[in-house]
């Protein structure tokens, strides 16, 4: 609390003087992410590449660490376990085995033999084929695109078209760099991490809308102020709020990443990066792009009843 009380209420950083540097950093991150995706690709989970899913109920509370070690020693490739509902309910995912249905059944039999009497009931045993995986890939891609377009339409109606273009560029930047991080550290890309990507887009646009609201308000209030100074003033006006919101969100995500277990660790890591890059893109990319888009021409309404204050700010 003592630290927060010493945070400046009205910072005065000249963000727009470094706008070209911020845009260059963003461009470099996007290019690096595209290169990583092209060279290393994504570590697709069972959801997208197909595999075996087994839902079990154990006799006692499941020890996921022990189960993961035992099943991993079978040499069946990637094995992930997820506890849901009761401590005795476990979902086992095993990567698709080379070969046809016969090889998948053989892998299931080996898993059952390894688990033995520890399992009280096998509730579900399914094989996710490559066709289902392809369908999920397509659905995930379309979900991301439609979410971003929907956000863009919302911004377009709420603000002017310049804001929608800047927001869309920032959204693509956040999504592409998040995917680049997953390619870099080979974080498993499954339905959970896809949800994280969509959450990143939502979090990023929330920050962007807050700053855009201040930009529109400031445009109407200070008509005579130079545009670059006006944009810097708008960012400074929301900087404390944005910083504190991001820090509190990061605290929760770090706790999830450290203590949440293996199942949600990938989701948490993707969101941590998303909060950081989304906060940066709101003031380091979206607003600098506005400086090249002739906002004054699209401005409607507003009065310059703050003339004296405007002159004072311009001189400062």
Domain residue ranges of the chain, discontinuous segments joined by +: 2-42+133-315, 51-128
- Domain 2-42+133-315 and domain 51-128, same fold? Reply is no
The DSSP line for 79-115 is EEEEE-SSTTEEEEEEEPPSSSHHHHHHHHHHHHHHH
Q: Does domain 51-128 fall into CATH 3.30.70.3400? A: yes
Instruction: Show the tokens assigned to 133.
Output: 């995986």
Answer yes or no: are the C-beta atoms of 267 and 249 closer than 8 Å.
no
- More confidently predicted of 111 and 98: 111
Closest CA to 249 of 285, 230, 224, 274: 274
Confidence at residue 20, expressed as pLDDT on a 0 to 100 scale: 92
Answer yes or no: are the C-beta atoms of 97 and 127 closer than 8 Å.
no
Report the distance separating Cα 243 and Cα 214, nearest Å. 16
Confidence at residue 8, expressed as pLDDT on a 0 to 100 scale: 53
CATH tag, 2-42+133-315: 1.20.1640.10
- Residue 296: pLDDT band with limits 50, 70, 90: low
The DSSP line for 163-197 is HHHHHHHHHHHHHHHHHHHHHHHT-EESHHHHHHH
Answer yes or no: are the C-beta atoms of 199 and 149 closer than 8 Å.
no
Q: What angle do CA 136, 141, 143 make, to 5 degrees?
A: 90
Kindly report the average pLDDT of the chain as a whole number.
81
Report the distance separating Cα 150 and Cα 241, nearest Å. 26
Q: Is residue 313's pLDDT more than 60?
A: no
């Amino acid at each position: 609390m003592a630290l927060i009380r010493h945070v400046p209420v009205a910072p005065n950083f000249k963000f727009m003087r470094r706008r070209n540097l911020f845009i260059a950093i963003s461009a470099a991150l996007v290019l690096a992410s595209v290169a990583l995706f092209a060279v290393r690709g994504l570590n697709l989970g069972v959801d997208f590449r197909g595999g075996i899913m087994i839902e079990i109920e154990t006799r006692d509370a499941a020890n996921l660490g022990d189960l993961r070690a035992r099943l991993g020693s079978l040499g069946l490739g990637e094995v992930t376990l997820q506890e849901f509902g009761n401590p005795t309910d476990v979902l086992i995912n095993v990567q698709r085995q080379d070969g046809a249905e016969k090889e998948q059944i053989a892998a299931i039999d080996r898993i059952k033999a390894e688990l033995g009497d520890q399992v009280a009931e096998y509730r579900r045993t399914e094989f996710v084929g490559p066709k289902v995986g392809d369908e999920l890939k397509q659905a995930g891609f379309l979900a991301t695109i439609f979410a971003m377009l929907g956000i863009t339409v919302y911004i377009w109606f709420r603000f002017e078209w310049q804001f929608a273009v800047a927001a869309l560029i920032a959204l693509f930047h956040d999504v592409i760099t998040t995917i680049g991080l997953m390619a870099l550290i080979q974080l498993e890309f499954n339905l959970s991490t896809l949800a994280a990507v969509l959450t990143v887009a939502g979090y990023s646009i929330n920050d962007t809308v807050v700053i855009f609201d201040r930009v529109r308000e400031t445009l109407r209030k200070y008509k005579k102020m130079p545009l670059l100074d006006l944009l810097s003033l708008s960012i400074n006006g929301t900087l404390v709020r944005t910083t504190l919101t991001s820090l509190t969100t990061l605290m929760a995500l770090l706790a999830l990443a450290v203590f949440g277990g293996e199942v949600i660790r990938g989701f948490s890591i993707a969101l941590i990066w998303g909060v950081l890059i989304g906060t940066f893109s709101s003031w380091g990319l979206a607003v600098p792009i506005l400086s090249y888009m002739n906002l004054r021409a699209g401005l409607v309404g507003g009065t310059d009843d703050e003339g004296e204050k405007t002159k004072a700010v311009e001189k400062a």
